[in-house]
Amino acid sequence: MDKLLIRGGGPLDGTIRVSGSKNAALPILAATLLASEPVVVRNLPHLHDITTMIALLRSMGTELIVDETLGVEINGATTNCTTAPYELVKTMRASILVLGPLLARFGHARVSFPGGCAIGSRPVDQHLQGLEAMGAKIDVDEGYITARCEGRLKGAHVFFDMVTVGGTENLLMAAALADGQTILENAAREPEIVDLAECLIAMGAKISGHGSATIVVDGVDRLHGCDYSVMPDRIEAGTYLVAAAATRGRITLKDIAPHTLESVLAKLEDAGAVLTLEDNTISLDMQGRRPKSVNIKTLPYPGFPTDMQAQFTAMNAVAEGVAHVTETIFENRLIQTHEMNRMGAKISVEGNTAMITGIDRLKGAPVMASDLRASASLVIAGLVADGETLVDRIYHIDRGYECIEEKFLALGADIRRLAG
């Protein structure tokens, strides 16, 4: 298993480009199953999860042509199998996103149950209830979800019990090819939902209200091909901005959509960062100052994203003051705090809240990554630690961060991958 070796040092300084968004690219790739013509998807990040989704589409007979810029042409006309096998689904929860498109286009789908994972139990009951409301018959057997419908799915009025990003995406895709109108209430408003909806509209879907809590979809008979470029990764961008703030640095990010990061940028300003925003560029300058502690409470968009919580926890560990970080989305997403305490951090956890008393520097130590964003937070902790930090199990990080060591090297960090 690969590891990352980090020698803590001074401020990050430099410019990097932000990659395409993992969490927008995955549903968009799944959505290509809805079209009976080739769809070209551009600005895909080069990540394990993208490779897994491509392998999943291929395993269903879908023909793909990958070009040198990691644009992919996906020909849903060739899809001839509607099963998503456990071997692929177990490595990536987002595989559940093929359920809605397969059911809507072929009338049946068999998708392995994704199961629990490090950050929480992550059930899919809202996905299944929504599809049932649209006329699907669903059985769970031998670890697989089997879904069928007579003819087309039927438009329905769906009320989500909680805000769910994946649930909204699955239902949005299913509704695009359903018979009649579907209204999704209490829908997720994340920018990745908007990106998926825009891609579906480019394929001929009739959708309005995306980006609000009520999305209206008028189903169409068929979806055609299109050429679509995935939005920039707001979580990757946020991670580098926080790393720069923690190290008292100064960085510029290019190819980014600043409006998707508003809650994160507000917290960075509270921490003392001077931000300069242009159309698709953000610069952050700490002017050599230590960050100030910031309180965080994770919430669905436009609230503060759970996918940025661990990184801010790392920054708070070396900030001036005491911070309270409350995680409300996933029940087990403060695990990185134990590893940070092994690096000398002063963090106590009670229920879903971490209380963090900032210290000047951490101390390097061998630490274990437990999930994607926890891994990123340990890299940030390593950058602000004296001595060496060895982050183990970084296959998590490779699910979500393209060229992480190259990008940190470009910002002046001392970081090296050790092949294991």
Ligand X SMILES: CC(=O)N[C@H]1[C@@H](OP(=O)(O)OP(=O)(O)OC[C@H]2O[C@@H](n3ccc(=O)[nH]c3=O)[C@H](O)[C@@H]2O)O[C@H](CO)[C@@H](O)[C@@H]1O
Which pair of tokens denotes residue 60?
A: 């269903």
Going by C-alpha positions, the residue among 336, 334, 362 that lies closest to residue 350 is 334
Tell me: does residue 334 bind ligand PEP (CB under 6 A). no
x/- letters, 22..61, toward ligand PEP (CB under 6 A)? -x--------------------------------------
Task: Judge contact between 356 and 327, C-beta under 8 A.
Answer: no
376 vs 374: CA distance, rounded Å: 5
E strand segments, 104-211: 108-112, 137-141, 144-148, 157-159, 181-185, 206-208
Residue nearest ligand X, Cβ-based: 166
**Do 51 and 22 touch, CB atoms closer than 8 A?**
no
**Strand intervals (E) in 337-397:** 346-350, 353-357, 362-363, 366-368, 385-386, 388-392
Q: Is 117 a catalytic residue?
A: yes
Part in contact with ligand X (CB under 6 A); list of ranges 39-47, 82-90, 163-171, 200-208: 163-171
How would DSSP label each residue in 26-87? Answer: HHHHHHGGGBSSEEEEES----HHHHHHHHHHHHTT-EEEE-TTS-EEEEGGG----EE-HH
Which residue number, 182 or 337, has a Cβ lying nearer to ligand PEP?
337
Single out the residue of 89, 372, 381, 394 in contact with ligand PEP (rule: CB under 6 A).
372
Q: x/- site string to ligand X, residues 316 to 335, per CB under 6 A?
A: -------------xx-----
Residue 125: other Cβ atoms inside 10 A: 11
Residue for token digits 């769809």? 39
Q: Coil, strand, or helix at residue 229?
A: strand
User: For ligand PEP, which residue of 60, 94, 128, 231 counts as binding (CB under 6 A)?
Assistant: 94
Assess 370 for contact with ligand X (CB under 6 A): no
Q: Which of 3, 93, 234, 393 binds ligand PEP (CB under 6 A)?
A: 93
Q: Binding of ligand X at residue 123 (CB under 6 A)?
A: yes
- Considering only the stretches 122-130, 150-158, 285-293, 340-348, report the one whose residues sit in contact with ligand X under the rule CB under 6 A: 122-130
218 is in an annotated binding site: no
DSSP state of 179: B
Distance CA 43, CA 55 (A): 18
In the complex, what is the shortest distance from the CB of residue 285 to ligand PEP, in angstroms, rounded to a whole number?
A: 27
Binding test (CB under 6 A) with ligand X, winner from 19, 126, 336, 377: 126
373, 393, 396, 407: which one contacts ligand PEP (CB under 6 A)?
A: 373
Q: Give backbone dihedrals phi and psi of 177, rounded to 5 degrees, phi first.
A: -110, 10
Residue 400 contact among ligand PEP, ligand X, none, beta carbon within 5 to 8 Å by kind: ligand PEP
Q: Are 233 and 19 in contact (CB under 8 A)?
A: yes
From residue 98 to residue 127, the character string flagging contacts with ligand PEP as x (rule: CB under 6 A) and all else as - is ---------------------x--------
In terms of CB distance, is 50 or 286 closer to ligand PEP?
A: 50
- Whose tokens are 């199990």? That residue is 393
Ranges within 85-104 binding ligand X (CB under 6 A): 93-94
| The entry of ligand PEP, ligand X, none that residue 327 binds, CB within 5 to 8 Å by partner kind | none
**CB of 19 vs ligand PEP, minimal distance in Å:** 13
Nearest distance, CB of residue 155 and ligand PEP, angstroms: 28
The pairing of strands 63-66 and 72-75 is antiparallel
CB of 321 to ligand PEP, least distance (A): 27
8 Å CB contact between 251 and 287: no
23 annotated binding-site participant: yes
3 state SS of 397:
helix
Which residue's CB comes closest to ligand PEP?
A: 307
| Of 420, 32, 412, the residue nearest 199 (C-alpha) | 32
Known binding residues for UDP-N-acetyl-alpha-D-glucosamine:
93, 122-126, 307, 329
Residues assigned a catalytic role: 117
Query: Which residues of the chain form contacts with ligand PEP (CB under 6 A)?
Result: 23, 93-94, 119, 307, 372-373, 400
Query: Which residues of the chain form contacts with ligand X (CB under 6 A)?
Result: 23, 26, 93-94, 120, 122-127, 162, 164-167, 192, 306-307, 329-330
Known binding residues:
22-23, 93, 122-126, 307, 329
Known binding residues for phosphoenolpyruvate:
22-23
